Structure formats: structure tokens, C-alpha cells
């Protein structure tokens, strides 16, 4: 088994020799990437099944938009949106289901419904009860870095040294997780590309992924369809027109050390990931 391992429940997965694709499933009316196309539970379940069939290792279900300027959603509404989708996908498939939330109440309900991973964009800072929920359920947990909140994060992000500051945050949250009773093997970290970062910040972080790795934990990266890709590629139309830059980055970032790539388009990104894995494994 490789050096990068991730414990989720009772299983330990090797994320060194083979990278994973995490499929994004937004059950929201205002997602930047799909404009609410999967807000209906039946359509969301159908799309989740499609991504699983295409080879996604994780389906990341979210009920609250985190686009720049997004308004907050209450826990009750978030649960109403995501729980039927999680229950049905968990019943139908062995793929891992992740809940994209920063609320412990939503995370606990989702884990009971069949999710195995909590994807917390606030990195454990949004709800102190999240630590106890994750520890009790032995869930995998992704801690993401974000400067500010979704409403404010892109107004004027500033860092003295973005790579050092994000790496320091990961180390602090790793220590806090251990102190809270979390098994360190269940942790993974996401630099939060586009979450309180300029174009230059994003590129600096992506260039130096290995400097962000803490205690041999997996690195999760999501650049799929994001606006900064349009700035550097010229694909300045709709989010869906940023597919080719996304696929290119999937290959580059896997070679650079990313273990999980969070994407909207599973099939083409999985093909790119397989090419990158072959290159990484070549002697």
C-alpha cells in the first residue's frame, strides 16, 4: 500500500498509486456551475448515478451554494435538500458519499443517511460540534481553507505568503482535530482554490501542493469550472465552457501530488487522471 492513505469508517484506502475523482452534486437553486439544474431530488439522484457509472469514487452532495456572494441557508432547509439524495445514492451504490457542509447538525444527519465523508469548507471553524460528530461516526473529513465567508471571500483577499499561511492553517487544524479525538488517518486537506484567493494566490498554491501536505494526509483540490480558469485560458463564457482547462489541470495537479480531484465532469477528468497516474507510476 502507498504512503498516502485515507481511513474512512473501517476501511483504509490507498490514494498514492491511484488518484480519485470526486463528483460534484449541487442540490441548490443557485450553483455557479450548473444554475440549479439538479435542485430537484430526482434529477440530483439521476445525475449522481451517472457520475458513479462514469467512475467517480466519491459523490459530494451539497445543499448550500458556496459561490462568491452566496447567501447562507438554514440547517433544516439544507437537510431537506440533501438527505433524500444521500439516502438513495447510498442505497443504490457502493460509491462513497460526501456531505458538503459546515454545520454539525447537517453532517450528523447526512452520516446517518449513508454519507461517509464530511467536506467542511470552513475547515472546522464554522461549528465546534463538527469535531465530535466526525469522531463519533468515524467519518472521513476534508478540511478546506477559506479566507472570509462565501459572501465576502473575493472582495479583497490578502496574504503575506499564501502558501505558508495555508500550510500553517492545515497544521493548526490537524493538531486541533487530534486534540478533539479525531483519528488523524481520517483527515484530508483542501487549499480552497478560489475561496478568498486571487488568481495569483490560486496559482501559487497549485504550484506548491506538496508544501501543503500535513502528516502524510491526502490533498483534495477543486478547480473545476472556476472563473480563474477563464482568465488564464480565455474561456470566459459560461462555467461549462471551462471543461478543457479543468481537464488539463486534473492531469497537472495529479502529477504534482493531488490525491482527490473535485470535478463536475467525471468522464473526461477520469481519463486525464488515468493518464497522470500512468506517468507517475512509470519507471
pLDDT tens digit sequence for 32-53: 445 455 568 899 999 999 999 9
Nearest Cα neighbor of 106 from 72, 132, 130 is 130
pLDDT in tens, 91-146: 999 999 999 999 999 999 999 999 999 999 999 998 999 999 999 999 999 999 99
Strands 5-8 and 260-263: unpaired
Give just the sign of the alpha carbon dihedral 242, 248, 253, 254: positive
Mean pLDDT of 80-98: 95
| Predicted pLDDT at 35 | 47
Dist CA 269 CA 275 (whole Å): 10
Q: How confident is the model at residue 2 (pLDDT cuts 50, 70, 90)?
A: low
pTM of the model: 0.92
Question: For residues 233 and 222, which has the higher predicted lDDT (pLDDT)?
Answer: 222
Q: Looking at residue 219, what DSSP letter applies?
A: B
CATH of domain 5-277: 3.20.20.20
DSSP state of 76: H
pLDDT in tens, 255-268: 999 999 999 999 99
Examine the pLDDT at 31 and tell me if it is beyond 60: no
Q: Is 205 helix (H, G, I), strand (E, B) or coil?
A: helix
Mean predicted lDDT score pLDDT of the chain: 92
Q: Which one is predicted more confidently, 219 or 241?
A: 219
Cα distance between residue 252 and residue 256, in whole Å: 6
Instruction: Point out the residues that are catalytic.
Output: 226, 262
Rounded to whole angstroms, the Cα distance separating 221 from 46 reads 25
Compare 174 and 233 and report the one with higher pLDDT. Answer: 174
What is the average pLDDT across 8-17? 95
The single residue listed with the C-alpha cell 503575506 is: 160
Amino acid at each position: 500500500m502507498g504512503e498516502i492513505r485515507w481511513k474512512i469508517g473501517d476501511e483504509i484506502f490507498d490514494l498514492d498509486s491511484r488518484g480519485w475523482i470526486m463528483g460534484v452534486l449541487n442540490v441548490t437553486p443557485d450553483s455557479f456551475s450548473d444554475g440549479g439544474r439538479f435542485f430537484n431530488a430526482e434529477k440530483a439522484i439521476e445525475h449522481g448515478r451517472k457520475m458513479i457509472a462514469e467512475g467517480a469514487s466519491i459523490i459530494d452532495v451539497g445543499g448550500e451554494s458556496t459561490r462568491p456572494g452566496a447567501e447562507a441557508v438554514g440547517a433544516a432547509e439544507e437537510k431537506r435538500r440533501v438527505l433524500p439524495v444521500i439516502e438513495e445514492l447510498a442505497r443504490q451504490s457502493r460509491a462513497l458519499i460526501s456531505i458538503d457542509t459546515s454545520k454539525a447538525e447537517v453532517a450528523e444527519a447526512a452520516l446517518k443517511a449513508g454519507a461517509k465523508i464530511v467536506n467542511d469548507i470552513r475547515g472546522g471553524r464554522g461549528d465546534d460540534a463538527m469535531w465530535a460528530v466526525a469522531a463519533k461516526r468515524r467519518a472521513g473529513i476534508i478540511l478546506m481553507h477559506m479566507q472570509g465567508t462565501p459572501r465576502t471571500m473575493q472582495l479583497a483577499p490578502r496574504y503575506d505568503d499564501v502558501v505558508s499561511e495555508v500550510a500553517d492553517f492545515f497544521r493548526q487544524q490537524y493538531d486541533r482535530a487530534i486534540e478533539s479525538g479525531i483519528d488523524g488517518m481520517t483527515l484530508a486537506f483542501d487549499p480552497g482554490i478560489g475561496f478568498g484567493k486571487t488568481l495569483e494566490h490560486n496559482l501559487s498554491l497549485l504550484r506548491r501542493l506538496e508544501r501543503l501536505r500535513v502528516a502524510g494526509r491526502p490533498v483534495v483540490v477543486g478547480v473545476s469550472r472556476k472563473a480563474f480558469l477563464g482568465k488564464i485560458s480565455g474561456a470566459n463564457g459560461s462555467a461549462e465552457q471551462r471543461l478543457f482547462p479543468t481537464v488539463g489541470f486534473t492531469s497537472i495537479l495529479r502529477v504534482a501530488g493531488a490525491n482527490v480531484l473535485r470535478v463536475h465532469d467525471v468522464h473526461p477528468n477520469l481519463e486525464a487522471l488515468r493518464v497522470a497516474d500512468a506517468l507517475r507510476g512509470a519507471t
